[in-house]
Amino acid sequence: MMFSSANPGSKKRGHSSDTSIKINHTREQISAWMFCAPMLIILGVFLVIPIVMALWVSFSDWSGRGSPFSSGVHFIGLGNYDSVLVTPGLSQSDFGTAIRNNAWYTLLVVPLQTLLSLLLAVMLNRRILKAKGFFRTAFYFPSVTSSVAITVLWLFLFGSTGSINAVLSWFGINGPNWFNDPRGLLQILFSHLGVSQGPALLTQHGLLGISWWDWLSGPSVAMFAIMLMVIFTTSGTFMLMFIAALQSIGEGTEEAAIMDGTNAWQRLWHVTVPQLKPTIFTVVTLGIIGTWQVFDQIYTGTRGGPSKTTLTPAYLSYSAAFDNQEWGQGAAISFILFVIIVVMTWIQRQIMKDRKMSRRKIAYYEALKSETRGLSNVSASQLRGKGNPDVANREGKNHE
């Protein structure tokens, strides 16, 4: 904000006070604001105002005609939030279903895509690998392709007579009718164990109009096919982030670990991964945000079907507004989604924060530090010297 170019002597602040150049701070501020103005206006018109408008719509009975700020639109308080969160009915159970689907989706997609992209990055970062450029491009390619195109491709691959089922049939497996199979993966598992109906405790009680048994049904086969697609497309982007992080890590630590006799897995988990923590944090955060906002794949692929098992809050918000003319509800859902994303990111931050050291460890490190400070320069340099009796003495003691 402060431009010091007007003052040639700014490098030596102490000496500049006796020169007669006076800085006009007001003019500097005005020019600074003028430089920022285009961006502020753009952000205001295309970001802030729409958000505030949507927030207003979520508290109003706007019917979709004319401006939401016109006189015919009334403030109806929490009515729209109430009908999706509290009042039993179709709006509530649709919202509950969407949250259920998306929770499973996030729970499975985020860890899997993070792991996959990390492994790809580690593999492609090895100096021994030939044709690195080719592989990086190949893995990154799905990320730059339009999600619509990939979805169409996926619908072909996973069709009931598509390539995936054709390959499965070579092994004698009768593949599912992927995008039309509403059964939950966990419920399929349960049914193999002979449990087809949940206990009354789970089927009679529930949350958001959905019974606990349905919450626990797992993602449907159709949703699972979408999950595979998303992992396939996003891991390329996250792989690039991990590669960038890996390349900024010095090789010294790894070489030291090699000298200590670690194997490749130990080096990956105990040396490389801890150093990647900031990148992992970024990737997981972006993953959580991205998975809660899944829309394109649903809109072009399944439109919520089969049996609403691929309905997500983002798509529900769209269809509530545009298909059912429930603009307030649509806006309310999108703000609930916003809160979910913020809360989940916060929780994730708390989990990934650096652990506080135990008191004993803090005390130990403090003692170590004060001991080192207590040593005079001379004795410290003597410590480094060869054949120092003190050192020998200490080492001898340590060996005892």
Partner 1 sequence: MKKKLAVAASTFSVVAMLLAGCGGSGFSSDSASSSDKLTSDTSKELTVLIASSGDPETNAVKKAVQEWATKNKRKATVSVASDINQQLSQGFASGSPTDVFYLAPDQLAGYASSGSLLAYGDQISNRSDYYSSLLQSLTYDGKLYAIPKDVSTLQLVINTDMWSAAGLTSADYPKTWSQLESVAKKLTTSKHVGLTFSPQYARVGTFMAEAGGGLVNAKGTKATANSAQSLKGLTEVKKLIASGSTAFSSDLGAGWGGEAFGTGKAAMTIEGNWILGSLAADYPNVKYKVIALPSGPAGKGTMQFTNGWGIAQDSPDQKGAISLVKYLTTKSVMMQFAKAFGIMPGNSKFAADWKKAYPDQAPFIDGLQYAIGVPTAKGASTVVSDFDSQLAQLKNTEPKTILDKTQKNLDAIYK
Name the residues that contact partner 1, by CB under 8 A: 44-45, 48-49, 52-53, 63-72, 89-91, 94, 159-161, 177, 180, 182, 304-308, 321-326
Shortest CB 199 distance to partner 1, Å:
18
Residue 94 beta carbon to partner 1: minimum distance, rounded to whole angstroms: 7
Provide the minimum distance between the beta carbon of 126 and partner 1 in the complex, in angstroms, as a whole number.
43
As measured in angstroms, the least distance from the Cβ of 324 to partner 1 is 5
Q: Do residues 155 and 179 lie in contact, with contact meaning Cβ atoms separated by under 8 Å?
A: yes
Q: ω before 313 within 30° of 0 (cis)?
A: no
Instruction: Read off the DSSP letter of residue 207.
Output: E
Letter string b/e over residues 150-164, b meaning 16 or more CB atoms within 10 A of that residue's CB: bbeebbebbbeebeb
User: How far is CA 73 from each of CA 52, 63, 64, 323, rounded to the nearest angstrom?
Assistant: 15, 8, 10, 20
Pick the closest to residue 317 from 81, 123, 126 (CA basis): 81
Q: Which amino acid is at 1?
A: M
Q: 201: which residues sit within 8 A by CB, 6+ positions away?
A: 212
| Residue 291 CB partners (closer than 8 Å, separation 6+) | 102, 105, 106, 109, 110, 230
CB 65, min distance to partner 1, A? 4
Closer residue to partner 1, CB minimum distance, 135 or 212: 212
Q: Are strands 206-207 and 210-211 parallel, antiparallel or unpaired?
A: antiparallel
Q: Which is nearer to partner 1, 79 or 182 (CB)?
A: 182
Least distance from partner 1 to the Cβ atom of residue 323, Å: 5
Please give the radius of gyration of the chain, using alpha carbons only, rounded to the nearest integer: 30
**Shortest spacing between CB 265 and partner 1, in angstroms:** 43
Q: Quote the tokens at residue 177.
A: 């009718």
In whole angstroms, the minimum distance from the beta carbon of 294 to partner 1 comes to: 18
Closest CA to 103 of 259, 31, 178, 207: 207
**Sign of the torsion formed by the C-alpha atoms of 204, 210, 216 and 221:** positive
Which residue type occupies 71?
Answer: S
The nearer residue to partner 1, 80 or 234, going by C-beta atoms, is: 80
Considering the complex, state which of residue 325 and residue 393 has its C-beta at the smaller distance from partner 1: 325
Element (H, E) at 259: helix 251-259
Residue with smaller CB distance to partner 1, 303 or 361: 303
Task: Choose between 139 and 215: whose C-beta lies nearer to partner 1.
Answer: 215
Nearest CB to partner 1, comparing residues 141 and 322: 322
Residue number, 62 or 242, with CB nearest to partner 1: 62
Nearer to partner 1, 48 or 78 (CB): 48
Minimum distance between the CB of residue 134 and partner 1, rounded to whole angstroms?
36
Spatial CA neighbour of 125 closest among 262, 233, 235, 248: 248
